[in-house]
């Protein structure tokens, strides 16, 4: 394997990583405001200080701003190299290997929002019934976007974000409840009033049984190569959620001294021509049997790769416990990684790695960072 020394900036936070999450959160809040104002508009809501002309203009401007931020959210997601999501996957559901169901929910919501925006711009050329039928998609895309955010968002278990989601759900539920009380048909009104809290309860159950449970990233469909990088620095993966794996954080890191390993090698082609990802998944031998995952990305160089980025994880099979971090040097068959545990303990891993076909063998040693 050819290699190179990675720059220190390679392990730092990626601006695209932050931009994707920021635009996603803000666009969802704006979409929530759009839905609430839309429901109020359907009911012909107006107040002395907020005549319907003002609420209609605010509804339209919020809608346009939400669409713009959703487009920015999609573009930063595509440009970010972490999950390797293509532009096609951003508009065609179920065309990505990264969390296919939950990412596709976002794709569907995005397509629905584009349809609403396009028909709104062409409203003068469309019949009222056609425009109104498509416009209803705006209300359908809101719950889809919510479940997309909860299912695939790497920060979805953070308390402040859960609180924000709860506020958005409460606002839409309150607006829908108020609107449905005005329905004249008693059976339709009762059915709708039951459906609103039932939908909110189903969302709560999903959050408690899914994203808030350990191992959700794996069950959601995150590729194994990204699971190894997900607990690394923000620039190479998504940081672990606060409070997860607290029991593992209290345990001191296991020290390995020339521990042998033998594992399986998988190669995947990157979205760019000539780019490849090599993933080594194995178990160490000796007195401590630990899970070892090595992910190397770059351009092919014989049986190996000319490194552009990489990550290592050592510990139990379920992240975020154990040690993880970026590869900082690769020289032939020798690689070095700077690792950290959930408690912040810094470790240096030195790995001798030999790849032959679909099999990898070698030895791994760990020691406190900074020690000779």
User: Are 168 and 57 members of one domain?
Assistant: yes
Q: Is residue 217 part of a domain?
A: no
Residue 218 inside a domain? The answer is no
Residues 113 and 234 grouped into a single domain: no
Please determine, for residue 164, whether its predicted confidence score (pLDDT) is greater than 90: yes
Q: Are 139 and 262 in the same domain? A: no
| Residue 12: pLDDT over 60 | no
What is the tens place of the pLDDT at every residue in 51-99? 554 456 677 788 889 889 999 999 998 887 767 788 888 889 998 888 8
Which burial class, exposed, middle or buried, applies to 273 when counting CB atoms under 10 A from its CB (0-12, 13-18, 19+)? exposed
Q: Which of 166, 186, 210 is the last residue of a domain?
A: 210
Report pLDDT for 92: 92
User: Three-class SS of residue 10?
Assistant: helix
**pTM greater than 0.85:** no
3-state DSSP helix/strand/coil percent for the chain, to nearest 5? 45, 20, 30
CA dist 226 and 258 (Å) reads 26
Partners of residue 326 on adjacent β-strands: 311
Phi and psi at residue 251, in whole multiples of 5°?
-85, 140
Instruction: Give me 356's structure tokens.
Output: 């032959």
127 domain-assigned: yes
Would residue 145 count as lying in a domain? yes
Tokens 């190569």 appear where?
225
Q: What is the pLDDT of residue 71?
A: 93
Rounded Cα–Cα distance for residues 102 and 153 (Å): 9
Q: How confident is the model over 118-132, as a mean pLDDT?
A: 81
Q: How far apart are CA 80 and CA 10, in angstroms?
A: 13
- What is the distance of C-alpha 245 from the center of its chain? 19
Tokens encoding 150 = 């909860």
More confident residue, 212 or 189: 212
Mean pLDDT, the chain, integer: 77
* 4, pLDDT greater than 70: no
* Shared domain check, 100 and 72: yes
At residue 13, the pLDDT reads 45
Q: Which of 199, 195, 177, 315 is nearest to 253 (CA)?
A: 315
Count of structural domains, the chain? 2
Structure confidence by residue, pLDDT tens digits, 239-295: 443 333 333 344 556 678 889 999 998 888 765 656 788 889 898 887 678 889 998
Name the token pair of 144.
Answer: 């889809």
Between CA 257 and CA 303 the distance in angstroms is 27
pLDDT of the residue at 30: 93
In a domain, 77, yes or no: yes
State the Cα–Cα distance between residues 60 and 64, nearest whole angstrom. Answer: 6
Same domain, 353 and 265: yes
- Among candidate residues 167, 183, 210, the one where a domain is terminated: 210
Residue 156 in contact with residue 211, Cβ under 8 Å?
yes
Q: Are residue 239 and residue 136 in the same domain, yes or no?
A: no
73 and 146 belong to one structural domain: yes
Portion of the chain with pLDDT greater than 70, in percent = 76
Residue 255 falls within a domain, yes or no? yes
Owning domain of residue 174 = 13-156+158-210
* 168 lies in the same domain as 256: no
Q: Which residues contact 74 (CB under 8 A, 6 or more apart)?
A: 90, 110
| Contacts of residue 129, Cβ cutoff 8 Å, sequence gap at least 6 | none
152 and 234 belong to one structural domain = no
Q: Do 181 and 246 fall within a single domain?
A: no
User: Higher confidence at residue 303 or residue 84?
Assistant: 84
Strands 276-284 and 259-269: antiparallel
Q: Is residue 4 part of a domain?
A: no
At how many degrees (to 10) do helices 137-152 and 186-209 cross?
A: 20
Instruction: Let me know: does 30 contact 62? Beta carbons within 8 Å.
Output: yes
Q: Is residue 215 part of a domain?
A: no
What are the helix (H) ranges across the chain? 15-42, 52-79, 87-91, 100-121, 128-135, 137-152, 159-180, 186-209, 216-219, 224-229, 246-250
One domain, residues 147 and 204: yes
Mean predicted confidence (pLDDT) in 160-173: 91
One domain for residues 265 and 171: no
Question: Which three-class secondary structure state does DSSP give residue 294?
Answer: strand
């Amino acid at each position: 394997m050819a290699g190179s020394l990675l720059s220190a900036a390679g392990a730092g936070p990626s601006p695209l990583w932050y931009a994707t999450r920021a635009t996603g959160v803000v666009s969802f809040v704006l979409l929530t405001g759009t839905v609430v104002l839309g429901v109020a508009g359907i009911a012909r809501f107006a107040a002395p200080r907020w005549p319907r002309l003002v609420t209609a203009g605010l509804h339209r401007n919020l809608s346009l701003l939400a669409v713009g931020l959703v487009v920015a959210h999609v573009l930063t997601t595509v440009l970010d190299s972490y999950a390797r999501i293509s532009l096609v996957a951003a508009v065609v559901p179920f065309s990505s290997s990264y969390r296919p169901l939950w990412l596709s929910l976002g794709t569907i919501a995005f397509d629905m929002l584009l349809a609403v925006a396009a028909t709104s711009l062409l409203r003068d050329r469309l019949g009222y019934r056609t425009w109104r039928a498509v416009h209803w998609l705006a209300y359908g895309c809101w719950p889809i976007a919510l479940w997309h955010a909860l299912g695939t968002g790497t920060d979805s278990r953070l308390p402040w974000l859960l609180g924000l989601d709860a506020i958005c759900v409460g606002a839409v539920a309150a607006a829908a409840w108020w609107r449905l009380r005005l329905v004249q048909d008693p059976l339709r009104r009762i059915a709708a009033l039951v459906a609103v809290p039932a939908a909110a309860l189903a969302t709560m159950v999903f959050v408690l049984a899914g994203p808030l449970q350990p191992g959700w990233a794996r069950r959601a469909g995150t590729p194994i190569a990204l699971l190894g990088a997900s607990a690394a620095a923000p620039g190479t993966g998504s940081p672990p959620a606060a409070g997860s794996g607290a029991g593992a954080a209290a345990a001191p890191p296991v020290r390995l001294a020339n521990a042998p390993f033998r594992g399986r090698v998988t190669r995947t082609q990157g979205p760019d021509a000539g780019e490849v990802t090599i993933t080594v998944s194995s178990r160490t031998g000796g007195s401590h049997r630990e899970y070892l995952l090595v992910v190397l990305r770059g351009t092919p160089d014989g049986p190996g790769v000319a490194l552009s980025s990489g990550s290592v994880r050592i510990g139990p099979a379920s992240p975020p416990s154990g040690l993880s971090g970026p590869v900082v040097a690769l020289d032939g068959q020798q690689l070095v990684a700077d690792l950290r545990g959930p408690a912040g303990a810094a470790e240096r891993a030195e790995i001798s790695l030999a790849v032959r076909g679909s099999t990898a063998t070698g030895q791994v040693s760990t020691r406190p960072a900074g020690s000779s």
